[in-house]
Amino acid sequence: MELTIGAKTIIDKLKDHGYEGYAVGGFVRNSLLGIPVLDVDVTTSATPEEVQEVFKDYKVYLTGLKHGTVTVNIGGECVEVTTYRVDGGYQDNRHPDSVKFVKNLSEDLLRRDFTVNAMAYDGESLVDLYGGRADLKNKIIRAVGNPTLRFQEDALRILRAMRFASVLDFEIEPSTAKAMIENKSLLKSVSVERVFEELSKMLLGDGVERVLTLYKEIIFEVIPELKPCDGFFQNSIYHAYDVYIHTVKSVALSKKDRVVRWALLFHDIEKPSCYTVGKDGAGHFYGHQKKSTDRAVKILKRFKADNFLISNCSALIMLHDCKTEISRGEIKRLLKSFGYGLIKRLVDVKLGDALSHASPYAEIRVELINDFSKKVDEIENNGECYKLKHLKINGNDVKSFGFKGEEISEVLNKILLDVTFDKIPNEREVLLDRLNYERSIRK
């Protein structure tokens, strides 16, 4: 493991002054996994006041003095330095009521969440008191000590376990998993922002399918609107799974994009409420796109998600069942309405959705979607006209033909529509002739 210059300097100076200093947490875990690490946290036997004295010639910020944390700036690198501590009671199942500084590293490591996060490194040797290195090797997430106590101390650890299992593609040790499920109701004490943050990271992991499947009870605790999808079979030749498993597989088979995966998590959420049986005896879900969109917006707003995610997810869910076997003109109209970036995300959403359909319909849909995507790229790369700014005329040209006010926008959009559908070429002289014609028919 190679410490950053700042972390190494801090640990060396602490040692020089008779204190212990260790890098902990994500740095140790990720370094052992071969994952690059830029951010290092340090724990020490020195009190916050003693840390300030050791680094009196540096910039020191009192970022978390209540919990024993100060931040030391070493040549522009900011490193959090926290005194060894044990936590008091957790009345809110989230934050310790008090902390007590200690001089023993083992006590500090015991309070941490998972064994893979409870190792320490001082630049020379690794301290691994709870089997973290073995759990890393065996790809296991295991609570330190009693898992029930760990989750009752801080309920967010339930979602953190799921997030680590997804991102690292690890299994969760059975007793830890059991305690997570038994204590899932404690998640009500966690802020919606922190829940959203953990879910967002979890959705991007390689192990997301396994996590969303094995721990669906926990998912339903924080997103109860998904529960009706569980076990709701679709009664359709196009589907091999119930709505929830189809949703999970759609997410797992899609591109690792935050917007795409959140959209897929909710794209069919209102299918159970829209279910009808047709004359053919098959299940249908008329109107589920609009209802799922509305539901997704409500959930994301409850999570206080950013406006970019909300607006893009709503558009993608509304469009996720749109046809792809359409003309270039119709593709350009989609591009005009939603932009290239969102339509490419729509391709990713549709591919994730299609891949979780029953065979051979999945393969057929994927082929159609890939053809659609190819045309979208061709239109964009060839500079084909689908926006007003692409036209070889502008508002001033329209004004010069005597049009005023709202007429200018009306005429430009009418001409853009004809260019988009290849009724006329996007050539300046042709468009000026068209303006002349528009003027003549309005006299």
- Domain 139-222 CATH class label: mainly alpha
Is the distance from CB of 437 to CB of 411 less than 8 angstroms? Answer: no
Beta-bridged to residue 74, according to DSSP, are 77
Residue 138 has phi, psi (to 5 degrees) of -90, 5
Is the distance from CB of 391 to CB of 431 less than 8 angstroms? Answer: yes
Q: How many CB atoms within 10 Å of residue 393?
A: 22
Residues whose CB is less than 8 angstroms from the CB of residue 341 and which lie 6 or more positions away in sequence, other chains included: none
Tell me which residues of the chain have a pLDDT lower than 70: 88-98, 443
Give the Å distances, CA to CA, from 197 to 139, 285, 393.
23, 31, 46
Is the distance from CB of 315 to CB of 342 less than 8 angstroms? Answer: yes
Can you give the pLDDT at residue 65? Answer: 85
The whole model's pTM is what? 0.91
d(CA 229, CA 250): 14
| DSSP summary character for residue 209 | H
Residue 83 has phi, psi (to 5 degrees) of -70, 140
d(CA 254, CA 206): 11
Q: How many CB atoms within 10 Å of residue 36?
A: 6
> Per-residue DSSP letters for 168-191?
HT-EEPHHHHHHHHHTGGGGGGS-
Query: Phi/psi class of residue 141: alpha, beta or left (left: φ > 0; alpha: ψ in -120 to 50)?
Result: beta
d(CA 340, CA 380): 7
Gyration radius from the chain CA atoms: 29
Condensed to tens digits (0 to 9), the pLDDT of residues 243-284 reads 999 999 999 999 999 999 999 999 999 999 999 999 989 999
Domain ranges of the chain: 1-131, 139-222, 252-381, 388-442
d(CA 297, CA 313): 8
- Domain 1-131 CATH class label: alpha beta
Is the distance from CB of 181 to CB of 143 less than 8 angstroms? Answer: no
d(CA 276, CA 121): 60
Can you give the pLDDT at residue 43? Answer: 97
Q: How many CB atoms within 10 Å of residue 290?
A: 13
